[in-house]
Structure 1
Amino acid sequence: MRIGFKQRYEWLILAIMALSYFQVQFHRISPSPLIPILMDELGLTYAVAGLLSSAFFICYTSMQIPTGVLIETMGVKKIVLSFMALFTGGAVLFSQGRDVGTLLAARVIMGLGSSVIWVSTLKLISMWFPTEKRATATGLANSAGGIGSFMAYIVLPFLSATMGGWHTPYLAISSMLLITMALLAIFLKDAPTGMGSHADSSHGNWSVVKENIRDVLAVKELRPFILASLIGGVGWALILWMPKFLMDVRQLSYVDANLVSSSITVAMIPGGASIGFISDRLRKRKPPLVWGSIISAILLSIFVALPTGTSYVVMGFVGFAVGLFWSTWILGFSMVSEILPRKVLGTGLGIYNMCNFVSSIFAAPLLGGLVDWTHTYAAPILLALSTLAIQILIFICLVKETYLWNASLIGR
């Protein structure tokens, strides 16, 4: 493949996968702005409402190691197309849900269908982009997810209010997934011509799979990332509860609560893109990761402590700052990609992504259950902020700089 054409095509690949991730994030976040409506319509407790969010992660999380194996065995394109079809079916089913059972089943299917998208995106970035552009490309893909999250907080409440319900607009939005599937079918390629896709049927052998997992876990520099990611979902679960928190505690209306909450996710759009660019220019990963984590935790503490009656401008400004610095989490994926041997990169990214969402399965219903039990948000807020503090200590004390890591380990 000619160099100029490859450089143009790598951005087309990124754009299509970013569109896929945009839609995944929209649907992943959608229960958060819909929780107040669903609690009223179905009489849900806080714990059950939290379960609607976490149900997505049951299959999503359990599929992360198989995802790495599948893309190494069959290639990215076949896997992405197959699972996007499943994801589309789950989204359509959710749009028609009128009871808790249907909604939970749809969320599980959506989690399964979307489980391959992020790891596949990272795999494609590692195949198509040179090292000095990978954090930037990863940040741009993450920004697309931020746009999806932001749109969920803005579009769903607006359409639900203006169209007399959420089912019809959700179905219309879900149908747009068919366009993305067509683009994937036409344009997606596993790797540049002559490079090979690194798909290898031997990866389907269970003994080889176990060997790959052992090889990944043997990389001691990966272990702090796994530990930090295992507890990181609790902090994110608090953000998912933010619209309901603002309605219950700060007395905001449904639309206003989602508008303020969206300030956090909209900041991840420039945040994800800029942090990757800054990291590439600094030629460092750890300092932006550490300082971004510290500042975002402090700002989140300030955000939840703002008194009732605080102006929307102030709440929106603080929320935007939270999301902007929170975006540094994306550097973890660049760092993990840099410390793992390429032959097990898919498996390693799957393990790391799985760990990021293990706690998410339990965190949202746990925080909701604490509200049911204590009739206050103090306990879930304290728990979430405590886990963020532990995560920061891990980043400071245990994580090592990884920029150009593989360049110093050629032949490993």
Structure 2
Amino acid sequence: MKNLTPEQMKRRWLALGIVALAYVLSFFQRFAPAGIANDLAAAFQTSAASLGVLAATYFYVYTIMQVPTGMLADTLGPRRILVLGGIIGGVGSFLFGFAPSLDIALVGRTLIGLGVSVTFIAMLKLIAVWFEENRFATMVGVCMLIGNLGSVLAGAPLSAVAQATGWRGVFIGVGALSLILAVLCWLIVRDRPEQSAAQGGAPKFDRTVLVNSLLSVVRNRSTWPAILVNTGTCGAFFTFAGLWTVPYLMQVHEMTRPVAASHLSLWFGGFAVGCLLLGTLSDRLGKRKPVIIVASHVYGLVWLWLLSGVQLPVELSYAMFALLGVATSGFSLTWACAKEVNPPMLSGMSTSVTNMGSFLAAALFQPLVGWVMDLGWKGEMVAGARVYDLAAWRGGLGVAVFLALCGAACSWWIVETRCRNIWKPA
């Protein structure tokens, strides 16, 4: 148990609440292009491949920053990187909102990815330091539930606001909120329970120790099943939900934009609730592996339905997307799996290495989906945006389905930790 004073107990909840709000913005920025894909295509007169690059720029930077963020979280502490990330992300959001061209939008999107890339790992580090070990998955689930409000807002609400008032003002407002949260992180967040408000906590930065620590995580064979499940399951989620879901449902399933955006929000909502449910279920069962196996296989089956293009009654399609969301959340247990097979002091690095796979997959496969779809494009245009037939969509969607099925297959190699750290020195 963490022996905390009443004041420390109050501080940990307040700090975690502020960081969770920053995580809401991170999720919103991640999936915002999905809700306004047609608006972006029309505003910048771009193809699916170029639109994929615009959305994936976030993931390029996010991927590159995962390992450095884990190192910084374990050395400099989460407080400093959260403040710096909030400032950079806010500036990027301003730039994206004011962007007159695709090139400027790419720069803004890059800064957004750079700024928000630190939020999740910093949040995991705070949970690992401030909360009990056997509550880790539950607390991550709570934060994911809160953070996913951002992805829900990036679906139907963003689409409705974009149609009513335009999408640019939304990103300008998000930029201002990001700067406010950066200030609150500096005032409230502390790296450790014993760190008082007056202490800066002199950071220690040893490159040799950092490199050796990274190598110990990467060389640990028990880490890799968690990495691969995260890469496949979350990679498919980010690749398709991050940009292509609304256009796919509109063009293949003949849904109106509000209905398609509602499906996307339901996917995000199911994912948010699922993170809390499956995290709590795993902690109470005292097991990780069975929960991940069941969730990843249900996930793969729903993806096969999407690939088929079979149209269902709207009530049933809503149910399928809710199920898809809950099943998607199974990958959230991979962070606990990675943390529990590595040294406790390297919790930031082990979770960041695991997290890197999904963002690398999104960075590579999101543009690939657009490129494959452009190969099958028949030249049809509506309101300045390209329209694709079922064959073209199946080609692009097949990329995400491949990732999902790979994640399900790798779940069988997850190392069961029974919700405790099982690492032992060699």
Place the TM-score, normalised by the shorter chain, in its bin: over 0.9
Cα separation, 2, equivalents of 1:50 and 1:86: 23
Alpha-carbon offset, residue 349 of structure 1: 2.1
Q: Give 1:303 shift.
A: 4.2
| Matching of residue 45 in structure 1 with residue 47 in structure 2 | yes
Aligned to 2:115: 113
The corresponding residue for 1:174 is 175
How big is each residue's C-alpha offset from its partner over 1:46-100, in whole Å with a ceiling of 9 and x where there is no partner?
1111111110012211111111222222221111101110011001111111211
Q: Residue 394 of structure 2: which of 378, 386, 395 is its match?
A: 378
Provide the residue aligned with 1:35 in structure 2: 37
Unaligned 5+ runs, structure 2: 378-391
Give the letter for the 2:417 counterpart: T
Is the Cα–Cα contact under 8 Å of residues 68 and 348 in structure 1 kept in the other structure?
Answer: yes
How far has the Cα of 1:10 moved from its partner? 2.6
The question of 1:403 aligning with 2:403 is answered: no
Q: Give runs of ≥4 in structure 1 deviating > 6 Å.
A: none
Task: Return the letter of the residue paired with 1:259.
Answer: S
Given candidates 264, 277, 290, the residue that maps to 1:274 is 277
CA distance in 2, matches of 1:135, 1:326: 15
Q: Within 2, Cα distance between the matches of 1:282 and 1:379?
A: 40
Q: What RMSD over aligned residues (CA atoms) do the two structures have, in Å?
A: 2.3
Summarize deviations over 1:350-372 as a string: whole Å, max 9, x none.
22222221111111110011111
Q: How many residue pairs are counted as aligned between the two chains?
A: 407
Write out per-residue CA displacement over residues 25-50 of structure 1, whole angstroms, 9 at most, x where no aligned residue.
Answer: 10111111111111122221111111
Counterpart in the other structure of 2:295: 292
Q: Quote the Cα distance in structure 2 between the aligned partners of 1:350 and 1:307.
A: 38
1:281 partner amino acid: R
Q: How many angstroms does 1:243 deviate by?
A: 0.4
1:390 alignment partner in structure 2: 406
Instruction: Name structure 1 gaps, 5 residues minimum.
Output: none
Counterpart residue type for residue 173 of structure 2: A
- What amino acid maps onto 1:226 in structure 2? I
**Contact 2:35 2:246 (C-alpha < 8 Å) held by counterparts:** yes
Give 1:388's aligned amino acid: A
Q: Is the 8 A contact 1:57 1:361 kept in 2?
A: yes
Distance 1:260 1:323 in 2: 10
* 1:199-220 deviation line (CA, Å, top 9, x unaligned): 7855x33322221111112222
Q: Which structure 2 residues correspond to residues 121-270 of structure 1 after superposition, within 5 A?
A: 121-163=123-165, 165-193=166-194, 201-202=203-204, 204-232=205-233, 233-240=235-242, 241-270=244-273
Q: Distance in 2 between matches of 1:175 and 1:200?
A: 30
Structure 1 contact 81–185 (Cα < 8 Å) conserved: yes
Matched to 2:194, the amino acid is T
On the 8 A contact 1:73/1:200 being kept in 2, the answer is: no
Q: CA offsets per residue over residues 108-134 of structure 1, 9 Å max, x none?
A: 111111111111111111001101211
CA distance in 1 between partners of 2:42 and 2:195 (Å): 57
Is 1:332 the counterpart of 2:347 in the alignment? no
Distance 1:355 1:260 in 2: 26
**1:19 aligned residue (21, 46, 50):** 21
Kindly provide the amino acid, as one letter, of the partner of residue 65 in structure 1: V
CA distance in 1, matches of 2:100, 2:310: 36
Q: Counterpart of 2:189 in structure 1: which amino acid?
A: L
Equivalent pairs: percent with the same residue?
A: 24
How far apart are 1:178 and its partner, in Å? Answer: 3.0
Contact 2:141–2:275 under 8 Å retained in 1: yes
For 1:331 and 1:12, the matched residues in 2 are separated by 24
In structure 2, what is the Cα distance between the partners aligned to 1:130 and 1:290? Answer: 26
- Partners of 1:171 and 1:217 lie apart in 2 by 39
User: 2: distance between equivalents of 1:321 and 1:63?
Assistant: 31
Letter in 2 for 1:353: N
Superposition deviation, residue 410 in structure 1: 5.8
Q: Identify if the C-alpha distance between structure 1 residues 8 and 213 changes in structure 2 by more than 3 Å, giving closer, same or farther.
A: same
Structure 1 residue 235: Cα displacement: 4.7
